[in-house]
Amino acid sequence: MVLAVDVGNTVTTIGLFAPDGAPVFFSTVQTNRDKTKDQCAIDLMNVFRLNGAEVSTVEGGILSCVVPPVAASMTDAMQRLTGRRPIIVGPGTKTGLNIRSDLHNQLGADIVACSVAATARYPSPVIVVDMSTAITFSFLREGVYEGCAICPGIRLGMEALSERAAELPHISLEKPPAVMGHNTIDAMRAGILYGNAGLVDSMIDRLQEGAGECAAAVVAVGDQAPLILSYCQHEILYDPDLLMHGLYLLYLKNNRKPKKDSI
């Protein structure tokens, strides 16, 4: 079994893969920058217990983390529970991608993992749209990571709007009755959902124009994606587990079958 952990800015996703690569479970817990290694270990144990799995079956692990204060604690927790130091996605990790030189050591681990999985699972060229804390657009062609664009995330923009405009309330992200709202809340929801859908459609067009080639597939990930995609005009596939499958593929590319350490 392979344990894969992705520490994002908002949530941490924990996944377990069987020897044949089939997912056993995926679970999420809230990311907390102040968690100690013991608290991270407790989170991991609770997730295994919740899903009826045994930590003792884990033969190796891999970690991607875009929250530096959590990286050391989660690494220690994974090693403590499994007896093996996890592979940490970062500079020096074998990806199989040809990443443009300026970006090689700057790409987030989550973007790398999604790109590896997208290259393996979808025809080329492929655009990956990650709608998480930020919205990122990546263009990949024949195993080459051509470049990306980064925009503020949906909830990030929504919270900034409410916090910086005194008369605009905090709202939940729900479907508006129409593109033209007849009250403040419906108007905000329409602007957020239709506005971000327009952003996604426009960026896809501009990426294809910049690349001089249309994408054979456009894939979206992130918990905000399903709601936004329903308003997009482009055909966009939703693959919620793309990042986790990418981590598993990265594990296979980088695993040297280390011996189990003593705890």
Active site residues per annotation: 110
Task: Compute CA distances 263 → 78, 79, 87, whole Å.
Answer: 11, 8, 18
The contacts of residue 189 (CB under 8 Å, 6+ apart) are: 171, 173, 174, 175, 176, 181
Chain centre to alpha carbon of residue 191: 25
SS3 218: strand
Task: Compute CA distances 226 → 175, 246, 249, whole Å.
Answer: 11, 20, 25
CB–CB of 239/221 below 8 Å?
yes
Total residue count of the chain as it appears in this document: 263
Taking each helix axis from N to C end, the angle separating 154-164 and 184-211, rounded to the nearest 10 degrees, works out to: 140
